[in-house]
Amino acid sequence: MGIPELFLIAVGLSMDAFAVAICKGLSTRDLRLSHMAVTGLFFGGFQALMPLVGYLLGTQFKDYITAVDHWAAFILLSVIGINMLRESRNEHCENVGSSFCIKNMLVLSVATSIDALAIGITFAFLQVDIIPAVSLIGATTFILSAAGVKIGNIFGSRFKSKAELAGGIILIAIGLKILIEHLLE
């Protein structure tokens, strides 16, 4: 898997965090740079940590699943993508509140990064070089989440559903690409 595919996966995974960051921005009256940094650090950190954990789990089972790894990657990416498409139809922001306390950010970070755990398992099956992959995912999520807080604070909820829609389409497309490439080998 090359850098373009990894970048697209990073963007796709970041869309849940971006959508929640927009909602955080909507609910924050006096936005400060620290709000953007905290959001970026929490969301980016968890989006990098979860695929690493998934990768470590996936390497334990890789030998058992090698014959169907392309199907597993396709199914995992498609399920995550379809879920994001379904969420994109919900026009309302979740009640994320305006608090940037550790407890609140921890819950939101875990909630927005669960799908990254499944991506990490997929990375193990595809033998992706994990350190550059999780670094790219974390950095991309940091940037998009920090920007999402500002965008939400300025523009409102117009971008939330579009972000989740784009993320879902990207993940499904990459899953299809993996499946087609393997079937054509």
pTM here? Answer: 0.74
pLDDT in tens, 39-93: 999 999 999 999 999 999 988 876 676 666 677 777 877 777 787 677 667 665 5
The ranges assigned to domains in the chain are: 3-183
- The answer to whether 28 and 99 have CB atoms below 8 angstroms apart is no
- The answer to whether 15 and 166 have CB atoms below 8 angstroms apart is yes
The C-alpha atoms of residue 143 and residue 2 are separated, in whole angstroms, by 21
The C-alpha atoms of residue 20 and residue 157 are separated, in whole angstroms, by 10
Residue type, 153: N
pLDDT at res. 55:
94
Six-digit token pair at 47?
């989006």
